[in-house]
Structure 1
Amino acid sequence: MKLKRFIYLLLMFPMLSQAQTSGNPIFPGWYADPEAQIFSKTYWVYPTYSAKYREQVFMDAFSSKDLITWKKHERIIDTASIKWANKAMWAPSITQKDGKYYLFFGANDIQSDNEVGGIGVAVSDKPQGPFKDHLGKPLVDKFYNKAQPIDQYVFKDKDGSYYLIYGGWSHCNIAKLNNDFTGFVPFEDGSTFKEITPEGYTEGSFMFMKNGKYYFMWSEGGWTGPNYYVAYAIADSPLGPFKRIGRILTQDPEIARGAGHHSVINDAKKDLWYIVYHRRPIGEKDGNHRVTCIDMMTFDKDGLINPVKITKEGVKKNKL
């Protein structure tokens, strides 16, 4: 059997080296909630290590120059470096500012204001870490506007302002981060956390800009089942109001189920848009058996997002 395996690998390696599409999933292992970013002409994906909560105590990252070949960066952060986090870490969001990389994450899955946990921040000099605790405590540790402090996304606006957009339990908040990401700057009306929940929102917020418009995206439905989707809305401000337009990422019973909790990357020079998301392979019943995938995202003539076709092939090779 060992000889057969060796011959198989010899035959496969030339094919792999000539691969022109990413394939889905894009890397092996159970990984979910992927945030994709571009740093220094390199694609990065930061996912949740998809396991039982008490095993979900670290995160890996993956990098690629072409969307085809991915390098794994193991344990860029774990609960040994975040003393207040213990039960789980998940749904990372990362941004670069002033030569530093800030990784925001959910931890401990708190169910009330009386528990320790919420949204934390870690910092590193490199996108591959290692990341160390930035505050020594959660950045958000309470249920403001009934939003569970999870599933955060850091959005940089055109004026250089940074916003934290987050929330579970069907409520979503936005808050303006201060310069060093140690807290928040109140809005003009004195409030710190504004609710921007659109119709159908469950969790997994994401935002991007295109042609001066703010596209707010989210996941809806139950993450452990097949009925998990991505929907979106458009507004003229990151504060909304956001009126739901519809779903653009759904399951395909021939390919995978439970497609959701995504992010978006854009090759601006070529005007190519990609959606990076997780899904559950056909036949998998364990809620944590999720894999990270990538497919093309396109727009119609009016700027609306076309429904995404989830594929086994993934996307074509693309160097930045």
Structure 2
Amino acid sequence: MMRKLYWISLFFMTSIGINANALAQDSLFHFVINGNPVITHKYTADPAVLVVGDTLWLYTGHDCAGKQSGYKMKDWCVFSTTDMINWTEYPTPLKITDFVWDDTGAAYASHIILRNGKYYFYISTNGSGIGVAVSDRPEGPFKDALGKPLLTNKDCFGSNHSWVCIDPAVFVDEDGQAWIFWGNRFCYYAKLKENMIEIDGEIKKIDFKDFNFTEAPWIHKYKDKYYLTYASGWPEKVAYAMADRVDGPYEYKGILAEIAGNSNTIHPSIVEFKGQWYFFYHNGGLSEGGSYSRSVCAEFMQYNFDKAIRKIEFTTEGADRGYVPLDNKNNPVLQGYYADPEVMFSHKTGKYYIYPTSDGFHEWSGYYFKTFSSDNLREWKDEGVILNLQKDIAWADKRAWAPAIIERKVNDEYKYYYYFSADKKIGVAIADDPAGPFYDPLGKPLVDFRPIGQRGGQEIDPDVFHDPVSDKYYLYWGNYYLAAVELNDDMISFDESKVIRMTPDRSYNEGTYVFYRKGLYYFLWSENDTRDENYQVRYATATSPLGSLNIPKNNLILSKKTEKGIYGTGHNSVLQIPGKDEWYIVYHRFRRPNAVRMGWAAGYHREVCMDKLEFNEDGSIKPVVPTL
């Protein structure tokens, strides 16, 4: 709506003879984004992001509109946001004509950094070199700090092409030392002096195995690792490398993002903002857009437990509406991409635990499991990786999905039996503590077969259940079918001849969870595929752990779409507060609660939520309304 009002205002001002472009230079423009591209009222490229306090500042190049035949860029733009939804554009902070030494007229990629109370704006041109401007305010205006280039082609040893001295990226390390990286075809770096406008010492060049560097370097640090992200190949993809020091040596880690839509170039920019990491880039996604009329976009970014970055999936939804500041008091209860949550209360530790699938991997190809603990169901501690398929499981190395766990006390000692999906088989691991470490006692899958008579489906999504009436333990699993069997006393074996099928009805898909309350056994499951608009949770009841199942007429518990526009999904577990008839459902939803049509990629970006589970007097379950 705000964009519509903006264009109506421009039309009105033009009709009465006001120069709308001139007016815009002296005023602020407020707008609300709705996915990618972030900016739609002009063409922007080469993003550089800076966080100051509770505000994210986005600096961009400014492509000319329309289908250009080359890069026509005369100035830079600046925007800010405090929530990734509501944005403000400021008057032009800097033009290429502000650098009298430039003779190219090309306002190429830039980088801005805060140091000693001043904002330093490093810019590049198409052959005149890299310059630096300075301001007391992040929105500018900026002024040339040197009256000459900071770096030129003469500083780029080993090169012979005129556009080598471009794309500056500045990084200030924890020890206070500032560094500048730049280059095309070759990646150069050097120290900056304390004044930020002079090179300090020798200029060096980065090189390592598989380093197919094109341009657009970006340096950031996560925990104790340094990351060099850059455009690679042509058309450009984004690759990255890691190091223990900012000056290397760097180790190539692979492609982080594929070719951007409708653009030969892509320019990465990475930042942490309010506890969430973001990946900015540009594509040619707007109408009349292309390689020379580009648009800045943003996506969520996450790390694996080994500190590698998970591959970026480009989306039209972007990184706006799904962002809710995480203070551990709201949904989602876990920070980051997680799915298929299994919740448990441990009598040994007196704590609650959530065991999720680690999500965010392309094609659900995650390979490790984590757990989170809490004393109060509000504040959750990351207990780290409890099982790594690639290290701990000899028969599997990926697709670590949908775990289930149970605590059992034998001879005054607690044991934890952890059932998990891996490579579309089901394994079991054992530990003495709910946070592990877990080990594989079998060295092979526990389940690698379908029940007799079952043709389709997959051996995934285990659930383990202790029957308080008989004191027996049961295992359930299946995709497009539900299998069930009583476990032997060792908890890691069963009689295959006693496996039965309990598939509730044709709507059954996967994700069974079983619990007991007041004489009834409840069977919850996910209906339809995880990417389907009608992915939802239904339930049945029984009078024994092995059925038969009774399906209530109104058995829908949790649906993706609600009247309030908040979207819950499927695959859940249920928690009873010890000693009370107080129940909660723990489930996953899509990272963007308003994204109903998610497509393949969005199905990898889920988050764990918790809401109350309530019952009617007759024992039927009340529909759950997902909340924030």
Q: What is the deviation of 1:268?
A: 4.0
What is the aligned partner in structure 2 of residue 162 from structure 1?
473
1: distance between equivalents of 2:529 and 2:474?
26
Matches of 2:508 and 2:365, distance apart in 1: 28
Match of 2:332 in 1: 25
What does residue range 138-157 of structure 1 map to in structure 2 within 5 Å?
138-145=445-452, 146=454, 148-157=458-467
Larger RCO, structures 1/2 (Cα 8 Å, 6+ apart): 1
Root-mean-square deviation over aligned CA pairs: 2.1
- Partners in 2 of 1:90 and 1:259 — Cα distance? 16
Whole-angstrom distance in 2 between the partners of 1:26 and 1:276? 9
Say whether 1:305 aligns with 2:621.
Answer: yes
Is the contact made by 2:613 and 2:624 (CA closer than 8 Å) also made in structure 1?
A: yes
SS at match of 2:434: coil
- Per-residue CA distance 1:251-289 (angstroms, 9 max, x = gap): 235544451100000014332100000011224651111
For residue 266 of structure 1, the aligned residue among 560, 576, 582 is 576
Q: Larger deviation: 216-225 or 290-299?
A: 216-225
Q: Deviations over 1:147-199 (max 9, x none)?
A: 5211110011122211001111x21011111111231146xxxx321111111
Please state if 1:37 is matched with 2:344.
yes
Note the 1:187-266 alignment, pairs <5 A.
191-199=497-505, 200-245=507-552, 246-252=555-561, 254-257=564-567, 259-266=569-576
| CA distance, structure 2, for counterparts of residue 196 and residue 152 of structure 1 | 14
Query: What is the count of residue pairs matched by the alignment?
Result: 289
Q: Structure 1 CA distance, aligned partners of 2:448 and 2:383?
A: 29
Residue 421 of structure 2 is aligned to residue 106 of structure 1: yes
Q: Is the 8 A contact 1:106 1:119 kept in 2?
A: yes
Aligned-partner Cα distance in 2 for 1:209–1:89: 28
- Residue pair 1:224, 1:288 contacting (<8 A) in 2 also: no
1:46 alignment partner AA: Y
1:87 aligns with 398
Does structure 2 conserve the Cα–Cα contact (< 8 Å) formed by 1:223 and 1:258?
no
374, 384, 390: which one aligns with 1:64: 374
Q: Give the TM-score normalised by structure 2.
A: 0.44
CA distance in 1, matches of 2:568, 2:585: 15
Which residue number in structure 2 is paired with residue 48 of structure 1?
357
- Whether contact under 8 Å (2:363, 2:604) holds in the other structure is no
Q: CA deviation at 1:134?
A: 1.8
Distance 1:290 1:298 in 2: 24
* Equivalent position to 1:295, from 588, 611, 620: 611
CA-CA distance at 1:5 after TM superposition: 4.4
Taking structure 1 as reference, are residues 85 and 225 closer, same or farther at Cα in structure 2, changes over 3 Å only?
Answer: same
Q: Is the 8 A contact 2:448 2:459 kept in 1?
A: yes
Q: Determine the structure 2 residue equivalent to 1:182.
A: 492
Distance in 2, Cα, partners of 1:2 & 1:33: 33
CA contact (8 A) 2:558 2:568 kept: no
Residues of 1 paired with 2:566 and 2:439: CA distance?
A: 36
Q: Deviations over 1:88-112 (max 9, x none)?
A: 1110000112321111001102xxx
Q: Secondary structure at the match of 2:407?
A: strand
Q: Secondary structure at 2:604's aligned position in 1? A: coil
Gaps of 5+ in 1: 14-18, 110-117, 313-320
Which runs of no fewer than 5 residues in structure 2 stay unpaired? Answer: 1-49, 56-81, 83-273, 276-326
- Residue matched to 2:122: none
**Residue identity matched to 2:473:** Y
Q: Distance in 1 between matches of 2:579 and 2:447?
A: 36
Alignment-mate amino acid for residue 520 of structure 2: K
Structure 1: distance between partners of 2:481 and 2:364? 25
Secondary structure of the structure 1 residue equivalent to 2:53: helix
How far is the alpha carbon of 1:306 from its aligned partner?
0.3
> In the aligned structure 1, how far is the partner of 2:493 from the partner of 2:580?
37
Q: CA offset at residue 243 of structure 1?
A: 2.3
Give yes or no for the alignment of 1:124 onto 2:459: no
Q: CA deviation at 1:53?
A: 4.8
Q: Which residue of 2 aligns with 1:115?
A: none
Report the Cα distance in structure 2 between the residues aligned to 1:4 and 1:216, rounded to whole angstroms: 48
**C-alpha distance in structure 1 between counterparts of 2:355 and 2:488, whole Å:** 24
Q: Which moved more, 1:177-186 or 1:74-83?
A: 177-186
Residue in 1 that maps onto 2:266 = none
- What's the counterpart of residue 74 of structure 1? 384
Contact 2:405 2:417 in 1 (8 A): yes
CA–CA distance in 2 between the matches of 1:309 and 1:128? 31
Q: Check the 8 A contact 1:224/1:258 in 2, yes or no.
A: no
**Distance in 1 between the 2:365 and 2:481 partners?**
27
**Which whole-Å CA distance do the structure 2 matches of 1:243 and 1:43 have between them?**
31
* SS of alignment partner, residue 498 of structure 2: coil
* Range that drifts further, 67-76 or 176-185: 176-185
Aligned partners of 2:571 and 2:580: how far apart in 1? 25
- Equivalent AA in structure 2 for residue 175 of structure 1: V
Runs of 4+, deviation exceeding 3 Å: 253-258
Aligned-partner SS, 1:23: coil
Moved more, 31-40 or 191-200: 191-200
- Identity between Structure 1 and Structure 2 (%): 40
Deviates more, 1:200-209 or 1:252-261: 252-261
Amino acid at match of 1:77: L
Measured after TM superposition, the shift of residue 126 of structure 1 is: 0.9
SS at match of 2:383: strand
